[in-house]
C-alpha cells in the first residue's frame, strides 16, 4: 500500500512568473526599480509600470459614495500571499483580489477602494468544476498566468453547468450580462427551484482590483531576514574531509561578483508582505563583509517608497532584534508589538512623547482648577454605596456600580409619570475620560492613533499615559472621582423603566475582584466580617457590599435570561490564563479561564448602558452617531459548516443568532438563558483521561463484560463519554466561530441602506461602546457625542456650554468619523491578534520549561497531509503534520458531497510503521503478517488489537504529544559570536493508541 493524496496542491512561486522570466531574460538580479510588464487586470498598467496609478483621494471618496467603488479592510491569505479578500457589503461572500498586481501595493489591514470586475472575470469555485474541465482550462490559464477558472471559461466548457447549479432563469440572466460588475437580481422560477439549487454566490465569487488606498493602517514596519540577491550569492562549497575550517567566509568577502549588487533583500517573516529592497549603503558593515553570518539575524525594517513603476518596494532598516536568550520574552514581545504597530518595541510602547505628557499635566491642572464649578453641574453620588468589580490585577478601573431601593415617594412619583412597579435605582458610573482628554489636544491625537490598549500575558500597553489611566481617571476606592453615568430605574423583574444620563461625582468605597464578588454569590447567607475580606470605607460594611452584589446579580441574571430568550448568541471558546514566575517572568502554570456569574453581572449592566447610549445617539445624531454593528455571518461559510456538522449528527439551525444559540444549548443539554460555557472541570477531565493512556476502548468493553458494572469501569466509561461530549461542543463552537464576522465601529450616517446597524450576536438593533474609555478610543468619541446631545436638551445655557466644552469643537463630519472608525477597527483587531500571539508565546515557553507532555485534543479539520487539533485544556489550535509521525503509509479520503452539501465526512487513514513492532508483543499472530494484512480504509485490522491502524475524523478525541523543536543554539556563524536563540517552534504530534497487548514492556 502506498501513500495516496487526493487533489494535491501545487506550490506557487513567491514572485509572478512574468517577473522571473523577464529578469532571467536580461540576466539581472531582482531590483526594485525594474518595471514589469504583462500584469493582468481590468485596468492594466502602462507598458513601463508594474501597477496602475492610484486614484486621487477625492476620486476614491466620490467613487465609494456613488457606489462605483467598494471599500474595506484588505485581508491576505498567510498561506498564499497572492490571495487577497475584501468584505462585500452584502455580507454573503468576499470579493476575491488575486495577485500582487490586483492588490496594487496595498498591505494587510489597509482600507482600500476596490473596483469590481465584470462578471465574465468572476471566479468559479474549484469544487464545482469537473476534472475534465479543470484539465482543459488549466493549460490555457497557465499560459495566461491566470490562477482560477473564470465564469466566462466555465460557461464555454460547461454550458449547462451553471443552470444545473443555480437554476435556468438566474443562469440565463448571468450569461446575458457578463460585461456588468453588478450582482444578478433575478431569482429561481419556483419554490422547488430554490430548494434544489444553490445560491449564485456559493458558486461564483466576485473579483476586483484595488484602485487606491483610503487609509494606510498597516504601519509599513515588519520583521525580516536580510539577504543579498540570489543571483549574487556564492554557492556553498563542500569542505574536504577533515577540513573543518574552510575559507568559505573569506571567499564570500573577496568574491568580485559580490561587489556588484545594489540592493539587499529583506524577506518578511509575515508571508503576506512583499520582499523589500534595502540599499547597499544602508546595510550593516558586518553584513557587507560576510552576509552569511546574518542569515538568522532578525531586523525590523520599514517600507519607505513604492512607486507604480516598481514591482517591489524600497525600505530601510530600523534596528536589529536581539538574539540574547536572557531577553527572549522581551525580544518576542518586541516582535509582537511591531506587528501591532509599535515599531520601536516594548519600551517605546510605554513612553509617550513629551508634548503628550505636558498636555496631560496641563489638562489635569485645568480640571482641578475648576473642580468647584463642577460641583454646580455634576450630580453627587459620593454618599452612595458605589464599588468596582474588576480582574484582581486591574489598575485601570473604568466602571463602578451602585444599587439602592427607591423611597416610597420616588416610587409614587414614577407611578404618576406612567412608570409602574419601580423598585430599584441602578447606577453605571464610567470614568469621565473625555473631561481630561480634550478634542485635538496632543494626548487626544495620541489616543486616536493608538485607539486601544493592548493586553498581553505579562503586561498591558496603555492607550493613555499612566497619570490618566491609573491615577486621575481610574475609579480607585477612597478617592473623589469624576464620572459619566447612566442611572436606571428598574422593576424587581429587571425591566428598565427610565434612564438618566449625566456627569457625576462618585467615591468608590470598595475595590472587588471577580473572585471576591463570586464569593458573595456562592455564599449569600454567610455572615461576613471586615477582618476577613476586602477593605470597605465607612460608613459601609462588607455585609452592605455583599447585599448589593446579590441584588445586582439577581437583576443581571434576569436580564441575561431575557436577552437570550429574545435571540442573543454567545460562542465561548477556551481562553488560557498563566501564572508567572515573579523573578524571571517565565510561565509556571496554565489553566483555562472560567467565567463566573460575577463576570456576567458586570457584562449585563455594561450591555444595558451601551445599548441605552446607542439609542440616544441614533435619536439625536442620526447622521453622525458613532455605533458598533455586528454583521451577520458569511452565509456561504455558515451553510458549509452546518452541512458538515449535520453529517456528524449535530443539527444546528442557522436561521438566526437565536436559533444557533438554541441548537448549541440543546446539544449541550443546558438552558438557553444560561448558554453553553465549557466545563469548570475541563482540566481535570483531560488529566483523568491522560492518566488512563494505556486503556483501549476494546479493553474497556472486555473489562465491563468480566466485572459486571464494576464501579471503576463505569467511572472510566463515564469519563470518556463526558470528555467526548465536551470535545464535540468545543469543536462545534470553534467551527461556528470561524464563520462569524467581526463586530465593527461605524458612522450611522454613512451606513449603506442595504445594511443593518444591528448587532447580530447581541440581537440588538442599536449598540455602541461607552463603558471603557480608559482603554478604547471609540468610547471617548461616544462620550463626546453624548455630551453634545445633553447640551442640546439642556435649558441652562451655562450648563449647556459646560457640556459642549468636552464635545467636538466643530462637529466631525460623517466621513471623518468613519475614517476614525476604521482605525479603531483595525487597531482592535491588531490588539486581539497580539494578545493571541502573546498567549501562544507563553505556551511555547511553558512547554520549553517543563519539557514535553501529553494532552487531550479534539480534531477540528482534516486535510490531505495533516489535521488540526484543538488542545482542550488551553484552547490553542495547532496542526499535526503526518510527516512528523512514524507512519508506514496513509490515505486521505475526501468528504463526499452532493449538490454542494457534505454527505460524508473526510478522514485520514493511518498505518503506523512496522518497525514499532520490534518493541511490542502481539498475542496469537506474527507481527509482520499482521501489518501486511492491514488495508487502509477497510475493516481489516490487526488480529489481536487495532492499535496500529487509526482513522482520524473531525470531532475525534485523540492524545497528542506537545513539545518544542530541538533547535541548535549555535548557527554556522558562531565563529563571529552570533547565536540563533530564536523562539523554538511548537510541535504537536499524534500518539498511537495502545492497549495491554501492544504496550511496551
- Write down the pLDDT at residue 611: 98
Residue indicated by cell numbers 485645568: 366
Confidence grade of residue 10 (pLDDT, cut at 50, 70, 90) = very low
Out of 2.60.120.200, 2.40.50.690, 3.40.50.720, 2.60.120.620, select the CATH number for domain 17-215. 2.40.50.690
Cα distance between residue 545 and residue 598, in whole Å: 13
518 has a pLDDT exceeding 60: yes
Q: Which residues pair with 486 in a beta bridge?
A: 428, 501
Helical packing angle, 542-565 and 514-522, nearest 10°: 90
pLDDT on residue 712: 56
Q: What is the pLDDT of residue 704?
A: 45
Please tell me the predicted confidence (pLDDT) of residue 698. Answer: 47
Which position has the higher pLDDT, 460 or 234?
Answer: 460
Range of lowest pLDDT (29-38, 392-401, 793-802, 805-814):
29-38
For the cut 90, the answer to whether the pLDDT of residue 146 exceeds it is: no
Confidence of residue 381 (pLDDT cuts 50, 70, 90): very high
**Chain segment 641-669, per-residue pLDDT in tens:** 999 999 999 999 999 999 999 999 999 99
304-315 tens-digit pLDDT? 999 999 999 999
Do domains 17-215 and 221-350 share one topology? The answer is yes
pLDDT above 70 covers a percentage of the chain that reads: 81
Residues 882, 863: contact at Cβ < 8 Å?
no
Work out the pLDDT band at 454, boundaries 50, 70, 90: very high
Position 981 pLDDT exceeds 60 = no
User: What class is the 221-350 domain?
Assistant: mainly beta
**Mean pLDDT value of segment 365-382:** 89
State the cell numbers at 261.
Answer: 549588487
Is 99 or 21 the better-scoring residue by pLDDT?
99
pLDDT at 88 over 90: no
Q: Is residue 257 predicted with pLDDT exceeding 60?
A: no
The pLDDT of residue 27: 34
Give pLDDT, residue 202: 84
pLDDT of residue 90: 77
Write the DSSP string, 378-446: SEE-TTS--EEEE-TT-----EEEEEEEPPHHHHHHHHHTT-TTEEEEEEEEEE-GGGTS-TTSHHHHH
Give me the pLDDT at residue 221, please. Answer: 93
* pLDDT tier for residue 624 given thresholds of 50, 70 and 90: very high
Distance (Å, rounded) from C-alpha 196 to C-alpha 166? 8
Number of C-beta neighbours around residue 236 at 10 A: 11
Q: Is the pLDDT assigned to residue 254 strictly greater than 90? A: no
**Range with lowest mean pLDDT among 100-109, 517-526, 912-921:** 912-921
Whole-number pLDDT of residue 165: 85
pLDDT of residue 34: 34
Residue 839: band (very low, low, confident or very high) from pLDDT cuts 50, 70, 90:
very high
| Cβ pair 84, 102 in contact under 8 A | yes
Per-position DSSP letters for 880-904, written without gaps between them? EEGGGS-EEEEEEEPPEEETTEEEE
Mean local confidence (pLDDT), 428-443: 96
pLDDT band at 554 (very low <50, low <70, confident <90, very high): very high
pLDDT at 980: 41
Q: Which position has the higher pLDDT, 423 or 250?
A: 423
pLDDT digits (tens, 9 = 90+) for 560-578: 999 999 999 999 999 989 9
As a whole number of angstroms, the distance between CA 23 and CA 4 comes to: 37
Question: Does position 399 have pLDDT exceeding 90, yes or no?
Answer: yes
Higher confidence at residue 859 or residue 31?
859
Q: How high does pLDDT run on average in the chain? A: 83
Confidence of residue 129 (pLDDT cuts 50, 70, 90): confident
Q: Is it the case that residue 699 has pLDDT exceeding 50? A: no
The answer on pLDDT for 29 being more than 80 is: no
Q: Which residue has the higher pLDDT, 931 or 849?
A: 849
- The residue among 98, 95, 93, 88 whose CA lies nearest residue 41 is 98
CB atoms within 10 A of CB 257: 10
How far from 202 is each of 57, 93, 278, 539, CA to CA, in Å? 34, 8, 43, 65
Above 90 in pLDDT, residue 18?
Answer: no
Confidence band (pLDDT; 50, 70, 90) for 685?
confident
pLDDT at 692 (0 to 100): 59
Rounded CA-CA distance 782/807 in Å is 10
For the ranges 340-354, 605-619, 826-840, 907-921, the lowest mean pLDDT is seen at 907-921
Q: Return the domain boundaries, the chain.
A: 17-215, 221-350, 354-631+744-838, 638-740+851-990
> With contact defined as beta carbons under 8 Å apart, do 496 and 426 qualify?
no
Cβ atoms of residues 331 and 324 within 8 Å: yes
Does the pLDDT value for residue 189 go beyond 50?
no
- Helix 777-793 crosses helix 814-850 at what angle (to 10 degrees)? 150
- Model confidence over 934-956: pLDDT tens digits? 444 443 344 355 678 899 999 99
Cα Rg of the chain, angstroms: 31
pLDDT of residue 235: 53
More confident residue, 686 or 226: 226
The C-alpha atoms of residue 227 and residue 264 are separated, in whole angstroms, by: 6
What is the helix, strand, coil percentage profile of the chain, to 5?
Answer: 40, 20, 40
pLDDT at 989: 95
Domain 638-740+851-990 coded CATH 2.40.50.140: yes
pLDDT greater than 50 at residue 171 = yes
Predicted pLDDT of residue 929? 40
Band of pLDDT at residue 144, cut at 50, 70 and 90: low
Question: Average pLDDT, stretch 349-354?
Answer: 93
**pLDDT tens sequence across 570-606:** 999 999 899 999 999 999 999 888 889 999 999 999 9
Q: At what angle do helices 542-565 and 597-620 cross, to 10 degrees?
A: 60
Number of C-beta neighbours around residue 157 at 10 A: 17
Say if residue 3's pLDDT is above 50. no
- 806 and 787 Cβ atoms separated by less than 8 Å: yes
- Determine the average pLDDT of the residues in 321-330: 83
pTM: 0.84
Question: Mind listing the pLDDT tens digit for each residue in 815-834?
Answer: 889 989 999 999 999 999 99
Contact criterion met (CB below 8 Å) for 94 and 77: no
Predicted confidence (pLDDT) at residue 615 exceeds the cutoff of 70: yes
Q: Is residue 41 predicted with pLDDT exceeding 70?
A: no
Q: What is the dihedral of CA 844, 850, 851, 852, to 10 degrees?
A: -70
Average pLDDT rounded to a whole number, residues 989-998: 76
Q: What angle do CA 822, 452, 601 make, to 5 degrees?
A: 110
Calpha distance 217→242 (Å, rounded)? 55
DSSP 644-665: HHHHTT-----SSHHHHHHHHH
Q: Is 62 left (phi over 0), alpha (psi -120 to 50) or beta?
A: alpha
644 or 185, which is more confident:
644
Residue whose cell numbers read 464555454: 156
Amino acid at each position: 500500500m502506498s501513500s495516496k493524496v487526493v487533489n494535491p496542491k501545487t506550490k506557487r512561486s513567491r514572485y509572478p512568473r512574468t517577473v522571473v522570466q523577464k529578469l532571467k531574460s536580461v540576466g539581472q538580479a531582482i531590483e526594485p526599480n525594474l518595471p514589469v510588464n504583462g500584469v493582468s487586470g481590468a485596468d492594466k498598467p502602462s507598458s513601463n509600470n508594474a501597477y496602475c496609478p492610484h486614484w486621487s483621494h477625492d476620486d476614491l471618496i466620490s467613487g465609494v459614495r456613488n457606489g462605483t467603488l467598494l471599500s474595506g479592510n484588505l485581508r491576505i491569505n498567510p498561506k498564499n500571499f497572492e490571495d487577497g479578500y475584501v468584505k462585500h457589503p452584502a455580507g454573503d461572500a468576499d470579493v476575491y483580489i488575486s495577485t500582487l498586481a490586483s492588490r496594487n501595493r496595498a498591505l494587510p489591514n489597509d482600507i482600500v477602494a476596490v473596483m469590481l470586475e465584470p462578471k465574465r472575470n468572476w471566479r468559479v469555485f474549484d469544487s464545482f468544476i469537473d476534472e475534465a474541465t479543470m484539465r482543459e482550462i488549466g493549460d490555457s490559464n497557465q499560459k495566461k498566468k491566470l490562477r482560477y477558472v473564470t465564469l466566462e471559461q466555465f460557461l464555454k466548457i460547461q454550458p449547462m453547468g451553471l443552470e444545473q447549479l443555480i437554476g435556468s432563469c438566474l443562469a440565463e440572466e448571468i450569461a446575458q450580462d457578463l460585461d456588468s460588475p453588478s450582482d444578478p437580481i433575478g431569482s429561481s422560477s419556483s419554490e422547488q427551484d430554490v430548494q434544489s439549487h444553490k445560491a449564485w454566490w456559493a458558486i461564483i465569487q466576485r473579483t476586483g482590483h484595488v484602485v487606491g488606498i483610503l487609509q494606510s493602517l498597516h504601519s509599513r514596519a515588519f520583521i525580516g531576514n536580510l539577504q543579498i540577491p540570489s543571483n549574487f550569492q556564492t554557492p556553498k562549497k563542500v569542505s574536504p574531509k577533515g577540513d573543518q575550517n574552510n575559507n568559505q567566509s573569506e571567499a564570500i568577502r573577496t568574491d568580485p561578483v559580490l561587489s556588484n549588487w545594489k540592493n539587499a533583500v529583506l524577506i518578511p517573516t509575515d508571508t503576506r508582505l512583499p520582499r523589500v529592497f534595502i540599499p547597499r549603503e544602508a546595510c550593516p558593515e558586518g553584513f557587507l563583509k560576510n552576509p552569511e553570518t546574518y542569515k538568522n539575524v532578525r531586523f525590523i525594517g520599514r517600507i519607505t517608497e513604492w512607486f507604480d513603476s516598481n514591482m517591489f518596494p524600497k525600505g530601510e532598516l530600523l534596528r536589529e532584534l536581539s538574539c540574547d536568550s536572557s531577553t527572549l520574552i522581551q525580544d518576542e514581545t518586541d516582535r509582537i508589538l511591531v506587528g501591532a504597530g509599535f515599531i520601536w518595541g516594548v519600551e517605546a510602547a510605554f513612553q509617550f512623547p513629551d508634548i503628550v505628557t505636558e498636555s496631560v499635566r496641563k489638562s489635569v491642572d485645568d480640571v482641578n482648577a475648576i473642580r468647584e464649578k463642577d460641583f454646580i453641574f455634576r450630580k453627587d453620588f459620593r454618599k452612595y454605596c458605589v464599588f468596582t468589580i474588576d480582574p484582581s490585577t486591574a489598575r485601570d478601573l473604568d466602571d463602578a456600580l451602585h444599587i439602592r431601593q427607591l423611597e416610597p415617594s420616588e416610587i409614587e412619583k414614577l407611578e404618576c409619570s406612567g412608570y409602574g412597579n419601580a423598585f430599584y435605582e441602578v447606577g453605571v458610573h464610567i470614568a469621565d475620560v473625555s473631561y481630561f482628554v480634550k478634542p485635538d489636544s496632543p494626548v487626544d491625537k495620541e489616543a486616536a492613533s493608538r485607539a486601544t490598549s493592548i493586553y498581553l500575558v505579562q503586561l498591558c500597553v496603555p492607550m493613555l499615559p499612566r497619570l490618566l489611566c491609573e491615577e486621575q481617571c481610574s475609579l480607585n476606592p477612597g478617592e473623589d472621582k469624576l464620572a459619566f453615568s447612566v442611572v436606571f430605574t428598574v422593576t424587581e423583574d429587571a425591566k428598565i423603566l427610565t434612564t438618566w444620563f449625566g456627569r457625576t461625582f462618585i467615591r468608590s468605597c470598595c475595590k472587588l475582584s471577580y473572585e471576591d464578588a463570586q464569593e458573595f454569590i456562592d455564599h449569600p447567607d454567610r455572615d461576613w466580617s471586615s477582618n476577613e475580606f476586602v477593605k470597605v470605607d465607612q460608613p459601609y460594611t462588607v455585609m452592605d457590599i455583599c447585599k448589593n452584589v446579590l441584588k445586582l446579580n439577581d437583576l443581571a441574571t434576569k436580564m441575561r435570561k431575557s436577552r437570550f430568550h429574545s435571540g442573543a448568541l454567545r460562542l465561548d471558546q477556551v481562553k488560557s490564563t498563566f501564572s508567572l514566575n515573579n523573578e524571571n517572568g517565565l510561565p509556571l502554570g496554565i489553566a483555562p479561564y472560567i467565567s463566573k456569574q460575577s463576570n456576567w453581572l458586570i457584562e449585563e449592566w455594561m450591555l444595558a448602558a451601551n445599548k441605552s447610549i446607542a439609542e440616544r445617539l441614533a435619536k439625536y445624531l442620526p447622521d453622525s452617531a458613532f455605533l458598533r454593528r455586528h454583521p451577520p455571518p458569511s452565509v456561504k461559510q455558515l451553510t458549509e459548516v452546518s452541512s458538515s456538522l449535520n453529517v456528524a449528527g449535530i443539527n444546528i439551525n442557522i436561521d438566526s443568532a437565536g436559533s444557533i444559540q438554541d441548537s448549541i444549548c440543546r446539544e449541550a443539554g443546558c438552558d438557553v438563558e444560561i448558554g453553553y460555557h465549557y466545563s469548570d472541570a475541563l482540566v481535570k477531565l483531560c488529566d483523568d483521561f491522560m492518566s488512563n493512556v494505556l486503556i483501549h476502548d476494546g479493553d474497556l468493553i472486555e473489562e465491563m463484560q468480566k466485572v459486571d458494572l464494576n464501579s471503576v469501569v463505569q467511572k472510566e466509561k463515564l469519563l470518556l463519554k463526558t470528555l467526548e461530549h465536551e470535545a464535540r461542543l468545543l469543536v462545534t463552537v470553534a467551527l461556528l466561530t470561524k464563520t462569524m464576522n467581526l463586530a465593527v465601529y461605524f458612522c450611522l450616517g454613512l451606513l449603506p441602506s442595504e445594511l443593518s446597524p444591528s448587532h447580530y450576536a447581541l440581537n440588538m438593533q442599536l449598540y455602541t461602546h461607552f463603558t471603557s474609555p480608559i482603554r478604547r478610543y471609540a468610547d471617548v468619541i461616544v462620550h463626546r457625542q453624548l455630551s453634545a446631545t445633553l447640551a442640546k436638551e439642556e435649558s441652562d445655557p451655562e450648563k449647556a456650554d459646560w457640556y459642549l466644552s468636552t464635545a467636538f469643537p466643530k462637529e466631525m463630519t460623517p466621513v471623518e468619523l468613519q475614517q476614525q472608525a476604521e482605525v479603531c477597527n483595525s487597531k482592535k483587531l491588531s490588539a486581539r491578534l497580539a494578545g493571541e500571539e502573546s498567549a501562544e508565546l507563553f505556551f511555547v515557553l511553558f512547554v520549553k520549561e517543563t519539557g514535553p507532555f501529553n494532552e487531550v485534543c479534539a480534531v477540528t479539520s482534516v486535510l490531505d497531509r495533516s489535521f488540526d487539533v484543538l488542545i482542550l485544556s488551553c484552547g490553542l489550535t495547532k496542526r499535526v503534520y503526518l510527516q512528523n509521525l512514524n507512519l508506514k503509509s496513509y490515505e486521505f479520503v475526501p468528504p463526499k458531497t452532493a449538490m454542494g452539501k457534505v454527505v460524508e465526512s473526510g478522514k485520514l487513514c493511518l498505518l503506523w510503521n512496522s518497525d514499532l513492532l520490534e518493541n511490542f508483543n502481539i498475542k496469537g499472530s506474527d507481527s509482520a503478517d499482521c501489518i501486511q494484512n492491514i488495508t487502509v480504509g477497510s475493516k481489516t485490522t490487526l488480529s489481536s488489537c487495532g492499535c496500529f491502524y487509526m482513522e482520524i475524523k473531525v470531532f475525534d478525541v485523540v492524545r497528542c504529544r506537545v513539545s518544542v523543536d530541538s533547535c541548535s543554539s549555535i548557527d554556522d556563524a558562531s565563529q563571529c559570536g552570533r547565536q540563533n536563540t530564536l523562539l523554538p517552534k511548537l510541535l504537536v504530534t499524534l500518539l498511537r493508541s495502545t492497549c495491554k497487548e501492544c504496550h511496551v514492556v
